[in-house]
């Protein structure tokens, strides 16, 4: 009987020791992870300060010409911070971004459109007395008859919300139904992605596809941004809007411009770097250029067939 009690005491002592060990291990791991993320935040904050002050030279050679359209997605709870939104637009205008899409789920940004564009921090797009350092701003509807991507002095701003996406899908579906199913077609049509894109363009809801999408908010998702516009878009989570700073914005754009973008299976789309005037592409010895099109005087896009992977080459303009 005494032996059984001793064994039970040993078991209880071992169980308590194991529980205490697991408890200490959990807190040690929690401390290590917390300290690691704290150190990362400090390092990122320090790097952002250095970028903003211009001490890091590699970020001075930023080429924003590769970004034709940039989207900013933010949580609706933070979208009422009008001063922060205006500050973001000023930073993007200073960096040379020409087209910005502002999106939030509940349409708070659309309601603040007049406050943002008429804040007095931007010069009017049509003003002929614009100062040299002013940033012109115009709404997407005002630039419908021109190509905003070719305008070198004005930043075009598009305001979007979740309701726009739902309405666009309904209108596009109705248009496709009327055109292909009520148009007297004998055979049932096979609708592809291009048909949907044409329908969206026809109803005026196409819009340029963002090259880079910056998410400001607690969630690491696009918050319902129209899916047909982010097929080849790179998404970067930037943290909360209240903690947004110029250095982190420059860093995100710089990282995007330094990465070669690959689109579609078997094809690669490369861009002409307007900063150094060289066209860099990765092709095999038997590669054949199948199509070239000029987007604007300083930007070209070429689709290159890649039969085999090969060494990187530089082709002068």
Stretch 86-98: mean pLDDT, rounded?
89
More confident residue, 61 or 137: 61
Same domain, 137 and 284: no
Same domain, 237 and 94: yes
* pLDDT the model gives residue 27: 93
* pLDDT the model gives residue 1: 52
Residues 223-254 as b or e (16 or more Cβ within 10 Å = b): bbbbebbbeebebeebeebeebbbbbbbbbbb
Instruction: State how many domains the chain has.
Output: 3
Least confident range of 9-23, 123-137, 153-167, 227-241: 123-137
Least confident range of 4-8, 175-179, 305-309: 305-309
Same domain, 235 and 126: yes
* pLDDT the model gives residue 33: 95
Stretch 193-205: mean pLDDT, rounded?
77
- The residue from 15, 36, 55 where one domain ends is 55
pLDDT tens by residue, 223-265: 888 887 888 889 999 988 988 889 999 999 998 988 766 654 3
* pLDDT the model gives residue 201: 77
Same domain, 4 and 96: no
Confidence at 284, pLDDT banded by 50, 70, 90? very low
E strand map for 162-273? 212-216, 234-239, 267-273
Same domain, 170 and 249: yes
* pLDDT the model gives residue 140: 59
More confident residue, 11 or 46: 46
For the chain, the residue count is 317
Question: Cα torsion for 92, 95, 100, 106, to the nearest 10°?
Answer: -20
Residue 141 is part of a domain; what is its CATH number?
A: 3.40.1180.10
* pLDDT the model gives residue 271: 38
pLDDT averaged over every residue in the chain: 72
* pLDDT the model gives residue 258: 83
* pLDDT the model gives residue 183: 66
Same domain, 137 and 95: yes
* pLDDT the model gives residue 39: 94
Same domain, 104 and 159: yes
Helix (H) or strand (E) holding 26: helix 2-53
Confidence at 134, pLDDT banded by 50, 70, 90? low
Same domain, 77 and 147: yes
Stretch 78-97: mean pLDDT, rounded?
89
Same domain, 71 and 215: yes
Same domain, 126 and 84: yes
Between strands 234-239 and 212-216, the pairing is parallel
Same domain, 12 and 96: no
Q: Print the domain residue range for 16.
A: 1-55
Q: Which 3 state secondary structure label does DSSP give 54?
A: coil
Instruction: Tell me: pLDDT of 119 over 70.
Output: no
Same domain, 80 and 223: yes
Stretch 91-119: mean pLDDT, rounded?
86
């Amino acid at each position: 009987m005494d032996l059984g009690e001793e064994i039970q005491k040993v078991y209880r002592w071992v169980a308590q020791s194991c529980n205490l060990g697991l408890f200490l291990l959990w807190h040690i791991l929690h401390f290590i992870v917390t300290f690691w993320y704290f150190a990362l935040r400090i390092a990122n904050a320090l790097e952002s300060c250095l970028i903003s002050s211009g001490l890091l030279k590699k970020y001075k050679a930023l080429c924003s010409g590769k970004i034709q359209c940039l989207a900013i997605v933010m949580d609706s709870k933070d979208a009422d911070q009008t001063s922060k939104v205006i500050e973001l637009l000023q930073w993007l205008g200073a960096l040379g971004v020409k087209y910005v899409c502002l999106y939030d789920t509940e349409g708070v940004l659309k309601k603040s459109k007049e406050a943002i564009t008429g804040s007095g921090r931007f010069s009017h797009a049509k003003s002929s007395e614009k100062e040299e350092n002013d940033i012109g701003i115009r709404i997407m509807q005002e630039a419908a008859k021109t190509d905003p991507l070719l305008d070198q002095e004005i930043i075009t701003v598009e305001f979007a919300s979740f309701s726009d996406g739902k309405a666009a899908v309904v209108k596009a579906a109705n248009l496709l139904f009327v055109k292909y199913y009520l148009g007297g077609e004998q055979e049932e049509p096979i609708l592809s992605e291009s048909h949907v894109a044409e329908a969206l363009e026809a109803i005026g809801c196409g819009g340029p596809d963002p090259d880079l999408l910056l998410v400001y908010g607690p969630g690491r998702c696009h918050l319902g941004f129209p899916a047909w516009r982010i097929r080849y878009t790179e998404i970067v989570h930037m943290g909360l809007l209240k903690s947004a700073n110029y250095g982190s914005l420059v860093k995100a754009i710089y990282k995007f411009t330094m990465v070669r973008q690959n689109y579609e299976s078997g094809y690669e789309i490369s861009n002409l770097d307007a900063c150094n005037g060289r066209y860099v592409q990765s092709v095999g010895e038997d590669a054949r250029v199948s199509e070239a099109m000029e987007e604007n005087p300083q930007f070209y896009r070429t689709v290159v067939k890649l039969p085999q992977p090969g060494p990187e080459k530089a082709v002068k303009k």
